Amino acid sequence: MIRLTFMKVTIITVTYNSEKYLDDCISSVKNQDYKNLEHIIVDGKSTDSTLEIIKKYKDHLAAWISETDHGMYDAINKGMDLATGDIIGILNSDDILASPHVVSEIAEAFIKNNADALYGDLEYVDPEDINKIYRIWKGKPYKRSLFRMGWMPAHPTFYIKREYVKMYGGYENHFYTAADYEFMSRYLYVHKLNAVYLPKLLVKMRRGGQSNKNLYQRLRANRRDYLAMKKNHIPFPFIVSVMKPLSKLHQYYKKNN
C-alpha cells in the first residue's frame, strides 16, 4: 500500500450521552495505520460518562470541546472549524471504521484519483453484535445525474477536501435530518466537485436512525429531502423525494436470518 502520510486527514465525532459505544468509536480511529490523522470530538454537554471516556483518550485526540449546541449538524460545523486536515470525514459516536486500513485507503484514493470528495460502502449492523449485518449500503461509481434519481452517497463514508468547506460552507442545520443530503448535493450536484467511489467497506454503523422510526418520521424526512432538492435545483424534486427512500430497498441483506 502506498503511504501518503503528507495528506492530513481529520475525523470529526459528535457526542451527546454517548457512553455506550464511544470507546469502540475512538478505538477504531486510534488503531488506524495511517498516522497523519487528527480526531476531533464535539460534545453537547453530556450528562453521562461520555466526558470521562473522552478524557481517557485525550492524548490521542487533536481537540475536544463540550458545550451546548443546536443539534448534530451545528456540532459538526464546530468540528470543521477546528479541523486542520486536508480532508474531512465524519464518524458517528455509535459507529466504527471497518478496519485499521480505512484511512490509508481513503488517502491513497484521494491522491491517485485527484479527488475532491470520496465515498465508499457501509454496513448497518446489530448494536450489540457488529458481525450481524442487517443492511448493506453498496455504492456505485459516481455520476452527477444519479442525484436526479434520488441517489446519494452513504454520508458516514463521505470525505471532502477542507478547502471546499471554506468555499461553500458547512451543514445547514435547518434541514434537520436532510442536512447531510443537502450538504452532499450542494457540493456534488451544484458545485460539480470530482467525487470518487472507493469500493471498500469503510464504516460499520449500528442500526437506528431518527428519520425512519415510523411513517410520520419518514414523511417528515421526505418533506425535508424535497426542500433540500428544491434548494439545490434538482429537477422534479417532489418525484425524486419519493424515489429516494425506494432506491434503498436493495440494501437490505438477509445473510444472518
Please tell me the predicted confidence (pLDDT) of residue 44: 97
Instruction: Please give the mean pLDDT across all residues of the chain.
Output: 89
Q: Which three cell numbers stand for residue 225?
A: 429531502
Strands 63-66 and 37-43: parallel
* DSSP code of residue 84: -
Please tell me the predicted confidence (pLDDT) of residue 235: 78
Is there a contact between 51 and 65 (Cβ–Cβ < 8 Å)?
A: no
In 3D space, the residue among 162, 161, 209, 152 whose CA is nearest the CA of residue 184 turns out to be 152
Orientation angle between helical segments 215-231 and 237-246, nearest 10 degrees: 130
DSSP 3-state helix, strand, coil percentages of the chain (rounded to 5)? 40, 20, 35
CB atoms within 10 A of CB 78: 19
For the stretch 57-68, pLDDT in tens is 999 999 999 999
For the stretch 28-52, pLDDT in tens is 999 999 999 999 999 999 999 999 9
**Mean pLDDT along residues 223-248:** 73
Alpha carbon distance 126, 130 (integer Å): 5
Please tell me the predicted confidence (pLDDT) of residue 128: 94
Please tell me the predicted confidence (pLDDT) of residue 230: 87
For the stretch 182-214, pLDDT in tens is 999 999 999 999 999 999 999 999 987 544 444
Domains of the chain: 9-209 (3.90.550.10)
Residue keyed to cell 500500500: 1
**Mean pLDDT along residues 70-89:** 97
Alpha carbon distance 130, 111 (integer Å): 31
Q: Which three cell numbers stand for residue 30?
A: 486510534
Residue type for 224, please? R
Is there a contact between 187 and 160 (Cβ–Cβ < 8 Å)?
A: yes
DSSP letters for 15-66: ESS-TTTHHHHHHHHHT-S--SEEEEEEE---SSSHHHHHHHTGGG-SEEEE
